[in-house]
Structure 1
Amino acid sequence: MRIFVTGASGWIGSAVVPELIEAGHQVVGLARSDASAAAITAAGAEVVRGTVDDLDLLRDAAAASDGVIHLAFKHDIAFSGDFQGAADADRRAVDVFGEALAGSDRPFVLASGLAGLAPGRVATERDMAGFDGSTVSIRATTAQEVLAFASRGIRSSVVRLSPTCHGEGDNGFMSTLVAIAREKGVSGYIGDGANRWPAVHRLDAAHLFRLAVERAPAGSVLHGVAEEGVAIRDVAEVIGRHLDVPVVSVAPEAAAGHFGWMAGFIGLGLPASSTLTRELLGWKPTHPSLLEDLDKGHYFHAPAAGA
């Protein structure tokens, strides 16, 4: 297939593109900068220059493709405080893809998340987030719109990713925890640290996106979860061992001062299952687990001078 991929040079996209090409697909990647364009070209894909705000360009690229994988999200403005603006831009892009693909039976795969899906229990693919105005539910409504595309003649699916998609080069939650431990001189967790996060290696996630665009049935919810839940205390212990710093419990009331912006996440229990995904698509994660990946040491390379 000729597959249009947004976010093609990002953390997940840079693994999805070679996964697709190695399987014999032709990839067209959206690039908003010269650096992104160079990375996409180097991976063996074609480049379309533009952003997720260029709606006419998105419409034309989708119409000229056999399928679309939408990975891009305006994380820069989201993390600067305008999550609603990022979510609105995402929704507009999704609407345009729906218009371009309607009635074609072509695949459309959306990247989404698992956080906050089923508080207090293990989330499954059958769970749907309610709308409460939170940032989690704002994105969830977009995912539900994509699932509804199935009634419009689109083979739509949503891949809900674990909060930590780990691997060498990761600049997400795990690398942030390492940086905090290095700065504070202790590796911390909140309370007893028994709360668990699901995890997936980014190469296993990339494989799931390929399976989704190739053969996920219309209206499928898929979970990019290799491990149902990894205790945050276990994560902290590996970090403490590699940095040779104490591993300590941080009181909930002191979390904001210690973890900064991560305080609202690090104490959450977010376990999730991927049983239905594995049964549906035969997906079998094969890459290192989160703790194995941390133990490989690449998260602990000292930052460059002046970094």
Structure 2
Amino acid sequence: MRVFVTGATGFVGSAVVQELINAGHQVLGLARSEENAKSLIAAGAKAHRGDLEDLDSLRSGVAASDGVIHTGFVHDFSRFKECCEIDRLAINAMGEALAGSDRPLIITSGIGILRIPDRLATEEDIPAASSPNPRIASELAANALAEKGVRVAILRLPPTVHGAGDHGFVPILIGIAREKGISVYKEEGANSWPAVHRKDAAKLYRLALEKAPAGIVRYHAVAEEGIAFREIAEEIGKGLNVPAVSKSVEEANEHFSWFAHFAGMDCAASSQQTKAILGWSPEQPGLIEDLDKGGYFKI
């Protein structure tokens, strides 16, 4: 299969590209710079110049492919709502280019948009359209495309996708702890994050592409259902040789500043349905084991 991949040189997307190539697929990767294009070619893929805001480049990439995996996202939290709107428009453009065909579209969402009290979130949970979280725009776009007959799968990633080269939430926590000399958790630190290794996530993207049924389906890239935030904070404290400290809600919010919302997420989730349907079986190290290896703490 010839697969168009957005975010193809990113942390998750580059692992997806390698997973697809290793499985015998051809990859056409979206590249917003000459450097990215060279990186894709070196990995064994072909490069397609453009970016997520160039909708014509997205449409032409889709037209040249048998299926699409959308891992790209503008990671600028200072304009998060705007970035979510960019994602919605990109998904809509690619989906419309797929309308009338049986070619699959795999889009990326986040477990964090699901807030299910007192139980694990499952693949069947759907965020309310009235949710204040702008990230739901991606799923709403996918839902609308499915109503038009597009074959679409929503793959929800947990707050931490870890592994070598991680520049996401865990490195942000490490940076804050290094700067302030303490690793903080809120109250008892009982809020929990699910997690997955980037290579296990990449395998799931491939399986979703190969096996996604007609209509719409939702998958959870969850290898670990919920790791207590206190455990993460303590591991970071150990890695930096700084104390792990409990703070009140107000103190924790001040400590984490703009990241307080994310640090306070409590979004344990299940992937049992995903595993049963796709035969996905995570094999890589868990988050704490990955942190314990020490690579996260090298400057």
**Structure 2 length-normalised TM:** 0.95
Partner of 1:249: 246
User: Residues 95-106 of structure 1 correspond to what in structure 2 (within 5 A)?
Assistant: 95-106=92-103
Give 1:212's aligned amino acid. Answer: A
User: Residues 214-225 of structure 1 correspond to what in structure 2 (within 5 A)?
Assistant: 214-218=210-214, 219-225=216-222
Provide Cα deviations, 1:32-78, integer angstroms capped at 9, x if missing partner. 112221221121110011111221221121012000111111223xx
Distance in 2 between the 1:225 and 1:5 partners?
A: 21
Give 1:66's aligned amino acid. Answer: D
Confirm whether residue 201 of structure 1 aligns to residue 197 of structure 2.
yes
Is the 1:147–1:220 contact (alpha carbons within 8 Å) kept by the matching residues of 2? no
SS class of match (2:112)? coil
Confirm whether residue 191 of structure 1 aligns to residue 187 of structure 2.
yes
Distance in 2 between the 1:119 and 1:107 partners?
A: 29
Aligned pair in 2 of structure 1 residues 183, 83: CA closer, same or farther (>3 Å)? closer
Distance in 1 between the 2:57 and 2:260 partners?
A: 39
Partner of 2:206: 210
Provide Cα deviations, 1:213-270, integer angstroms capped at 9, x if missing partner. 1112231100010010000111111111222211110111112321122211212211
Task: Say how many residue pairs are matched.
Answer: 297
Counterpart pick for 1:264 among 253, 261, 264:
261
Point out where structure 2 has 5 or more consecutive residues left out of the alignment. none
Provide Cα deviations, 1:62-98, integer angstroms capped at 9, x if missing partner. 012000111111223xx12x22322222222112112
Distance in 2 between the 1:276 and 1:223 partners?
A: 8
Distance in 2 between the 1:116 and 1:212 partners?
A: 20
Partner of 1:33: 33
Distance in 2 between the 1:250 and 1:274 partners?
A: 32
Counterpart pick for 1:127 among 125, 128, 131:
125
Partner of 2:158: 162
Question: Offset at 1:148?
Answer: 4.5
Partner of 2:172: 176
Distance in 2 between the 1:169 and 1:142 partners?
A: 25
SS class of match (1:124)? coil
Partner of 1:68: 68
Counterpart pick for 2:140 among 144, 148, 164:
144
Give 2:252's aligned amino acid. Answer: A
**Structure 1 length-normalised TM:** 0.93
Distance in 2 between the 1:28 and 1:298 partners?
A: 31
Question: Offset at 1:285?
Answer: 0.3
Aligned Cα root-mean-square deviation (Å): 1.4
State the percentage of identical aligned residues: 54
Is the 2:207–2:278 contact (alpha carbons within 8 Å) kept by the matching residues of 1? yes
Distance in 2 between the 1:141 and 1:74 partners?
A: 14
Provide Cα deviations, 1:147-197, integer angstroms capped at 9, x if missing partner. 443443432100000010011111111111111111121111111011111
